Chains A and B, each alone.
Chain A
Amino acid sequence: MAAPCRRMAGRSLLQFLSSFSRTSVSNSGFRQFSVCRGSRQAQHVEEIASSPWTLMAAVCLQRLPVISAETNPIEQQFREMMIQMELEKSMLSDHELRLLNDAERIRRMQAGEYDSDEEDDRRDQEIVLAQDLEDSWEQKLKGFQPAARVSDSEGDPSSVQRRLSDSLLLLVERPVGREKLWMLPQTEWQRGETLRETAERALGSLPAASGFKATFLGNTPCGVYKYKLPRAARTESSVGTKVFFFKAVLSDAGAPPATESPESSLLWVTKSELQRYVKPAYLMKVERFLLGF
């Protein structure tokens, strides 16, 4: 019984890698693979050796834009033109009608042939004119100061508050082999948990990310990166790693870390800045599922 299971597992893995499409067939194939492993308790020693790839799950944590995106000159011109056109085509609102009526009434009062008994409007309309209301609203608007579009921590790559009109991606530095590389936060998959739980664990295990509250967008991964170890390090049991990426959206950044420790190497980068930090092969796979620019 173990033999057919192993073959099916190998086949489904190949399917998943070669097709790269997000169809339910490959997904269910992957699910069967994990269930199959768990059920064979007696012969699980053989099962582990059957796949030489270590599985890891990474989280693609994004901070969505906080303010609206900057507009081109063409967009601004079009916007102004549309506002003007809509204003010209629109009908008068209640407030504007009231303004006109008040102005008319004042004009008639000052004309001299005014008899207040002829007026069938209510008395309290004379007390608060619409123009006075408008003036008080203007005063309130002058007192309101909107916050600056560009925050102070613009150039600091490790601050969440930078680039408020773009979406940012979280990067961490991890030692791989002999060097430290920038990558999305990842941990190894353990038996008995789903890959999404592994990704959640990866996010929680970051030292500086204790305050992060993230919402995972789904149970399925959005991308995969396959890394084969260099020939010298390859053994029978480990040919390389496969990293599955899960998408998450930051809902709350929490308090910034009190102590600036040099180990806490977090970066918040936009998609265009990603190529400065990340290796080209990794970048090629990660760019595929990042929307925007």
Chain B
Amino acid sequence: MNAVFRKLQASATQQAFVFNQALTTCRATPSIQHPVWASVNERQYKSMPTHGIGRWRHLLPKDPPKKKRDRQQMKEIVVETETTYATLNVNVSGYDMTVVEHFSQHIHNLCNRLGIKVLDCYALQTKTTEVWLMQEQGTKMSVDSFLKTHNRVVQLRSLNATMCPIFLEVLLKNQPEGVQLSVQEHTEEDYKTRFKGRPELEGLKAKISH
């Protein structure tokens, strides 16, 4: 019985020891301010075993540092294969900007739903047409209106040959009034037309060559 008693005592003391240790560790947390033994310079929470338990950012792979925006590179034109087309440009143009933009958004959403990959979706330059009315008597012309033609392009990556008639038919049937639709293959010239011309550079080049 003594042995049992001793064991019980031992276990009790062990438990008490553990409990005391827990107490001391609890006491060291900064939430319980005991200015007697927690001085300002001593950072006692860093020695806690659970310090940094929630850290996860060091586990992520290192991202490359974000560099400044590079000059726009041209995206590679996808080559035509036996069952898919090359990079196609779906060009939506019209006078009414809201209708043109909404239709191009509709095409983009349709491609997402049908599983057609969209490479790029951009707008071309707005072209302004001045309409001059000729007077009935005489040759004087007067300004009637300014018409702006808006252009939106949705670039498709590789359209499957089986998907093509279905896709085109849905586009044609949903085409709104006053909107022109055209589907062409993408070329380098199409990409170059998006950039502004640089007349000074061309002038200097001409001077150098002469």
Binding site for B on A (CB under 8 A): 22-24, 27-28, 31, 62, 64, 68, 167, 217-220, 222, 246-247, 249, 291-292
Number of interface residues of B (CB under 8 A): 16
Candidates A68, A167, A220, A249; contact of B164 at CB < 8 Å: A220
A24 touches B169 (CB 8 A): no
B177 touches A217 (CB 8 A): no
Q: Which residues of B contact A62 (CB under 8 A)?
A: 169
Report the bound CA distance from A167 to B173 in whole Å.
9
A220 touches B177 (CB 8 A): no
Q: Which residues of A contact B164 (CB under 8 A)?
A: 217-220
- What 1/0 mask marks residues of chain B from 163 to 187 whose CB sits below 8 Å from any chain A CB? 1111011101100010000000000
Number of A-B contacts (CB under 8 A): 47
Report the bound CA distance from A28 to B84 in whole Å.
11
Prevailing SS type, chain A contact patch = loop
B165 touches A220 (CB 8 A): yes
Known interface pairs A64-B173, A167-B173, A291-B173; A24-B168 also in contact (CB < 8 Å): no
CB distance from A139 to the nearest CB of B (A): 14
Q: Which residues of A contact B141 (CB under 8 A)?
A: none
Known interface pairs A24-B83, A31-B82; A219-B161 also in contact (CB < 8 Å): yes
Known interface pairs A31-B82, A68-B177; A24-B162 also in contact (CB < 8 Å): yes
Candidates B82, B162, B163, B172; contact of A249 at CB < 8 Å: B172
Q: Which 4 pairs of residues, A with B, have the shortest CB-CB distance?
A: A22-B162, A218-B165, A217-B165, A218-B164
Report the bound CA distance from A64 to B82 in whole Å.
30
A28 touches B82 (CB 8 A): yes
B162 touches A23 (CB 8 A): yes
Central interface residue in A24, A64, A222, A246, by most chain B CB within 10 Å: A24
Which B residues, 151 to 206, have Cβ-Cβ distances below 8 Å to chain A?
160-166, 168-170, 172-173, 177
Report the bound CA distance from A167 to B169 in whole Å.
11
